[in-house]
Structure 1
Amino acid sequence: MPANTDGGVGRRIAYYRSVVRPKLTQQELANAACVALGTIRKIERGERGVSGDTLQAIADALGVDPVRLCRDRGTAHSQARDGLPALSAAIAAYDCPDDGPVRPVSELRDAVDTAVKWRLGAQYTRIVRDLPDLLPELARAYHTAADGDRAELAQLLVSAYRCADAAAYKLGAHDLSARLIELMRWVTAAAEDPLLTASVAYVRTETFFAARAHAAGLRALQQAIDMAPVPTTAVERAVRGALHMRAAVIAGRARDADAAVAHLSDAGRLAEQVTENVYYGTAFGPDSVRIHQVSVAVSLGGDHVSAALGITHEWKPPTGLAAERRSGFYIELARAQLWAGMPDSAFESLKVARRVASQHTRDHPWVREDASTLRRLRRADSETLTSFAEWCAAT
């Protein structure tokens, strides 16, 4: 059978090996699957592919369906997903929108500000409900704008595209997300704002996450950092710091610990010079950096997991942070707790994530995967856990 070269296979094998009960060492998995220890190590590090027969043997040893190891679980169906086709239709004629009404710039600004609040609050159903009308209207306004309004309308259009992208990406519509990001990059040129360009580079990283092209994504972010203005104001420091945060995360996914630590250090230094706030659409400050420290530690795995748990022993994200970011923290924490053999704590973290941002949690692939794992780990079926698993469509 052909070899599966998806680098995510190795990470998923390592995940299931580490959380099944009893836990398996790499040597024990190699023995159970009748595979050489060196082969297991290389597969988990993403240094070699895995044939169909080997994958089946490893899956049998782990007691899981090989499909779970081949790809991430699909997204749960939700009401928000029903609105994605309308979003796609709304941007089809981005350069030649239908005729229609156009509100004054001040009213459009208010509408976009509301959409941004929905994005930060992970209210995706509202985004896919309202933006199919707002996006064409903004496009009409942009294409017919007087010179004095064009730059601001470009910024508003980028912000609206970003809101639509947040819903598309979080709901698993990665092709639609990539189209929206390209539209952001297209319209940014008209805004003539280097900070807006940098903020779009931050969002563009989603395409590299979706493709698991982590090394390429890290290069793209480094280029964006190099091109960003030398920071002399709080906003410039925050925008640059956000790029470093993002670079640290994707470096962690690439298992480049040195780069991840370096970018986190740069982000932390810049965060000390600003207050926690939303800058050009991205939350940045000391609390955001701390959350990303946990995310990076979970991505690196192994001994780094204890560092993630150490951060959370004395600190939790304040309620003033964006709901999407706070729920993401608890989802990451749950995974670290599973790796550390703390299933009860992991379930509590998942429940907190749901309370903070229900839609973000329900459609997160890690939540379904971890909820499914928790059901296997518990000897007696828990009504609460079963209800949670059914809610997020875990099996």
Structure 2
Amino acid sequence: MEGVHAMAARPVTPLAAAREAAGYTQENLAVALGVERTTIGRWDRGIQSPQPWQRRGLAAALQISLDALDDLLRRTVRRPAADTSTAQGSSVSSPVTNAAGRMVHRNQSVPEVDVIHAGIPRLRRALDRLDLPDDGPTRSPDDLRSEIIRASDDRLQSRYGGLARRLPGLIAELARAGQLGDTAGRRDAAALLTLALRAADGVAFKAGYLDLSARLIDMMRSTAQIAEDPLLLAVVAYVRTESFFATGDLDTAARALDVATDHVPDLDQISSSAAFGALHMRAAVVAGRAGKADVATDHLREARRAAVGVPEGIYLGTAFGPASLRIHELAVAVELRDPPGIERAASWNPPDELPAERRSHYFIDLARAQLDLGYHDDAYLCLQTARQAAPEHVRTHPQVRQSLSTLLRTHNAPSTGLLDLAAWARAR
């Protein structure tokens, strides 16, 4: 009997304990909330968190406040044991010096923001030496291609700290590869280097190094031209929009995207259709930000046409497909301050299979929309969901800070959860 009890024992998470204290089994709570029992099980184990629109009902069932529910969810969420990079920092096993010059000892945690800032000087040096790379080993093209896939995935999952550590060495290695082999080999190395530079831009832009981001985009244009790949040039045009957003030059952004779409070849190929559709998604957001609703609608129509034959996936480092399109539809509706469009787009939930950065964008935009509509509690919940999806991305996102600043100003007595979130994101 004792052995049977030991086998049946299981760890009770904070959320599961609160559910049981409220008198609910997984089955009857699922019935009360209108979800599957397996959904409650995933919430209990911290594998998945309830969406913003589900949390009011859950808090009411548990007879606790939304702030208390947020605390339960934070303490319940499960992180993979092998992951050495968390939302708060990276574990280190030997003394290091962080960006502020402080010594961090064994088994302490280096905040990811410190890891990123400490990696930027090394990244700049790697770019300075691109035509004169240091001597060193150079892996096979297949191995380098695998490293680029990993770097692209890290960017899409907003693991910027790991990228900041690895990219300087990878860029130097790709620069060496570009000086070896025949013409075809040099073109292949240039194509991989373009994608490595794109991953580096993800780090630089999100961390606020706009000068470095602009430099990386210019270098991407040069390496894409060496690669002689028109789809890579489309990728560069997509990323280049960041520079125009930063300066507010929306007319030039629109022209650059129009030129790029005109040069996408072979639209009967999936990869070409994905590039074409992604450019139109981006152009729709530009038009929405410029207040040009008709133009934005036209671009979304073209993107939908492209998405018909393209499964959701990653194409040359860009997520495209029906789900990515829906996320951009919300972004356009938010830019246009279009309540019906926001309601249509917000009736959908991005699947977990989408890249974390993409999913967090959806909830960041939805938070902006809820703020505009006066639903401040829902905006707060959306920001919490975005944080759970991609903490490194959310913490550095200027729109998150703007939304949090608005929430702080409009609450006479901000909740502990809101104050904690604002402090974490360094919002004022």
TM-score (norm 1): 0.78
The answer (yes or no) to whether the contact 1:309–1:336 under 8 Å persists in 2 is: no
Deviation for aligned residue 1:151: 2.2
What is the one-letter code of the residue matched to 2:339?
V
Deviation for aligned residue 1:190: 1.8
- With a CA cutoff of 8 Å and minimum separation of 6, indicate the structure with the bigger relative contact order: 1
For 1:378 and 1:204, the matched residues in 2 are separated by: 38
Query: Does residue 151 in structure 1 map to residue 187 in structure 2?
Result: yes
Which residue is 2:267 aligned to? Answer: 231
Which residue is 2:391 aligned to? Answer: 358
Deviation for aligned residue 1:230: 4.0
Which residue is 1:311 aligned to? Answer: 345
Query: Does residue 108 in structure 1 map to residue 141 in structure 2?
Result: no
What is the one-letter code of the residue matched to 1:309?
E
Deviations 1:351-375 (A, max 9, x none): 0000000000000011111112112
What is the one-letter code of the residue matched to 1:307?
G
Query: Does residue 330 in structure 1 map to residue 363 in structure 2?
Result: yes
For 1:78 and 1:264, the matched residues in 2 are separated by: 39
The answer (yes or no) to whether the contact 1:305–1:339 under 8 Å persists in 2 is: no
Deviations 1:70-116 (A, max 9, x none): xxxxxx96542332222111101212222222122222112111111
Task: Note the aligned Cα RMSD (angstroms).
Answer: 1.4
For 2:287 and 2:344, the matched residues in 1 are separated by: 21
For 1:296 and 1:87, the matched residues in 2 are separated by: 34
Deviation for aligned residue 1:242: 0.5
Query: Does residue 380 in structure 1 map to residue 380 in structure 2?
Result: no
For 1:258 and 1:340, the matched residues in 2 are separated by: 23
* Ranges in structure 2 where 5+ consecutive residues have no aligned partner: 1-111
Moved more, 326-335 or 204-213: 204-213
For 1:309 and 1:347, the matched residues in 2 are separated by: 17
For 2:419 and 2:403, the matched residues in 1 are separated by: 12
Q: Cα–Cα, structure 1 residues 145 and 254, in superposed 2: closer, same or farther, change >3 Å?
A: farther
For 2:184 and 2:359, the matched residues in 1 are separated by: 38
Which residue is 1:165 aligned to? Answer: 201
The answer (yes or no) to whether the contact 1:122–1:359 under 8 Å persists in 2 is: yes
Question: Which of 246, 251, 260 is the equivalent residue of 2:282?
Answer: 246
Q: How does 1:29-178 map to 2 (within 5 A)?
A: 78-178=114-214
What is the one-letter code of the residue matched to 1:385?
L
Q: Cα–Cα, structure 1 residues 153 and 77, in superposed 2: closer, same or farther, change >3 Å?
A: closer
The answer (yes or no) to whether the contact 2:113–2:161 under 8 Å persists in 1 is: no
Question: Which of 155, 171, 190 is the equivalent residue of 2:226?
Answer: 190
The answer (yes or no) to whether the contact 1:161–1:184 under 8 Å persists in 2 is: yes
Bigger Rg, structure 1 or 2: 2
What is the one-letter code of the residue matched to 1:381?
P
Moved more, 358-367 or 199-208: 199-208
* Ranges in structure 1 where 5+ consecutive residues have no aligned partner: 1-75
TM-score (norm 2): 0.72
Q: How does 1:199-218 map to 2 (within 5 A)?
A: 199-218=235-254
For 1:148 and 1:239, the matched residues in 2 are separated by: 23
Deviation for aligned residue 1:381: 2.7
Runs (4+) of structure 1 exceeding 6 A deviation are: none
Query: Does residue 282 in structure 1 map to residue 287 in structure 2?
Result: no
Tell me the SS of whatever aligns to 2:314: strand
For 1:105 and 1:235, the matched residues in 2 are separated by: 21
Which residue is 1:62 aligned to? Answer: none
Aligned residues: percent identity?
A: 46
Tell me the SS of whatever aligns to 1:205: helix
For 1:206 and 1:87, the matched residues in 2 are separated by: 19
